[in-house]
Structure formats: structure tokens, C-alpha cells
């Protein structure tokens, strides 16, 4: 099993195969979740829950056709569930919870120049102005390199919806970046 998109089933996969799949997908998955969640703390929680659910799914003996797509679908669903839980909590408890924890520091690679850090901050800030759906699709397409058809499967919507959402997201980002101080 040398590809992150391999088909696998509990009976077919051993510890070494799973470890290889984990290492092939861990960085891309965390990066995607990090952009979705907006904070390292929330991203780590969703990341761990994603792997726990995938292992649980495999233990039930179920087949996964596209491991990487399945992994990102699980992460997206957990993120949506978490947002819904926060919205419900905010509604009933009247707390001013935000979808992003502003106190968490921005994700920046340890080997970046000050200019790169500033660009990362601008991109992160610009992405925060997109809706959750737009941000998810943008990250899947332009950061993780998924095809339109794969995004459509992960997000459970039509390819036309993905294209329209990406178009609107890019337009919104262009407008925001044009008006920001670079």
C-alpha cells in the first residue's frame, strides 16, 4: 500500500500498512483542519478525533475505497459537527463563543522569513472572511490539490456547486487581498 488513496479494509491492512497511510496523510490532513478550524487547539482535537473514527471504521471491517478522500470527509464532518455544537451552545447558553479561538497563535512554519510570516497572516486573515463551506473547498482545492470531483464527494454536493463556490471564494479573496495592505 504505497499510495494515500489506496483502497483498504480491516482484514487487508496491517499495522505497517496503516502506519504508512498515516504518515502519508498526516501533514496534509492537519494542514487542512488547521485552515478550517482557525486555531491549533481546535485543529488538534479534530485531527485526533478523525484518526480515532477512521481506526474505529476499519475495526468494523468496512472497506474504504479512497483512503485520503475518506479521511478528509471524516475531518470535514467532525468540523461541521463541532461548529453546530458551538452554535447550539451559544444559542442556549448565550455565551459569546467564536468559531475560532483568537488567543491561539497563527500557524506558521518554523522556517519562515518575516515576509513569509506576514503573507501567512494575511492569507489566514483573508481565509477567515470566507464562509466555512468556501474555506473548506478553497483549502481542499488550492492547498491540498484535490480535484473538483473529489471535493464534490468529500463535501457531498454537486460538482457545479463546488465550481460556483470556489469561484465566489476566489473572487472574495481577490477583493479582500486587493484591499489589504501588502
Sequence ranges of the domains in the chain: 1-100, 113-182
CB 11 within 8 A of CB 59: no
Task: Compute the average pLDDT of residues 139-160.
Answer: 90
Mean pLDDT of the chain: 78
pLDDT more than 70, % of the chain: 73
Cell numbers for 172, please give them: 472574495
CB 43 within 8 A of CB 105: no
Q: What is the pLDDT of residues 81-132, one digit of tens each?
A: 888 777 766 655 655 444 443 333 333 333 445 666 776 677 778 888 889 8
String of DSSP letters for the chain: --STT--EETTT--HHHHHHHHHHHHHHHHHHHHHHHSSHHHHHHHHHHHHHHHHHHHHTT-EESSHHHHHHHHHHHHHHHHHHHHHHHHHHH-----SS-TTSPPP--TT--HHHHHHHHHHHHHHTTS-HHHHHHHIIIIIS---HHHHHHHHTS-HHHHHHHHHHHHHHHHHHHHHS--
pLDDT confidence of residue 25: 93
Q: What is the largest CA-CA distance in the chain?
A: 55
Among residues 169, 171, 167, 165, the alpha carbon closest in space to that of 152 is found at: 165
Q: What is the pLDDT of residues 51-62, one digit of tens each?
A: 999 998 888 888
Name which CATH class applies to 113-182.
mainly alpha
**What is this structure's pTM?**
0.61
CB 46 within 8 A of CB 76: no
pLDDT confidence of residue 74: 94
- Position 14 confidence tier, pLDDT thresholds 50, 70, 90: low
Name which CATH class applies to 1-100.
mainly alpha
Q: Tell me if domain 1-100 and domain 113-182 are identical in fold.
A: no
Residue 149 has pLDDT above 90, yes or no: yes
Between CA 113 and CA 154 the distance in angstroms is 34
Displacement of CA 172 from its chain's centroid (Å)? 19
Amino acid at each position: 500500500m504505497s499510495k494515500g488513496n489506496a483502497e483498504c479494509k480491516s482484514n487487508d491492512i496491517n499495522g505497517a500498512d496503516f502506519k504508512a497511510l498515516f504518515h502519508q496523510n498526516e501533514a496534509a490532513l492537519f494542514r487542512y483542519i488547521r485552515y478550517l478550524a482557525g486555531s491549533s487547539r481546535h485543529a488538534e482535537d479534530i485531527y485526533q478525533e478523525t484518526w480515532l473514527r477512521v481506526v474505529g471504521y476499519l475495526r468494523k471491517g468496512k472497506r474504504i475505497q479512497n483512503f485520503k478522500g475518506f479521511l478528509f470527509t471524516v475531518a470535514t464532518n467532525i468540523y461541521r459537527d463541532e461548529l453546530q455544537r458551538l452554535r447550539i451552545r451559544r444559542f442556549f447558553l448565550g455565551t459569546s463563543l467564536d468559531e475560532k479561538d483568537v488567543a491561539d497563535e497563527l500557524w506558521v512554519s518554523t522556517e519562515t522569513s518575516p515576509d513569509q510570516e506576514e503573507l501567512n497572516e494575511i492569507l489566514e486573515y483573508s481565509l477567515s472572511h470566507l464562509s466555512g463551506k468556501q474555506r473548506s473547498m478553497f483549502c481542499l482545492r488550492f492547498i491540498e490539490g484535490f480535484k473538483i470531483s473529489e471535493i464534490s464527494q468529500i463535501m457531498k454536493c454537486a460538482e457545479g456547486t463546488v465550481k460556483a463556490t470556489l469561484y465566489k471564494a476566489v473572487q472574495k479573496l481577490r477583493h479582500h487581498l486587493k484591499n489589504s495592505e501588502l
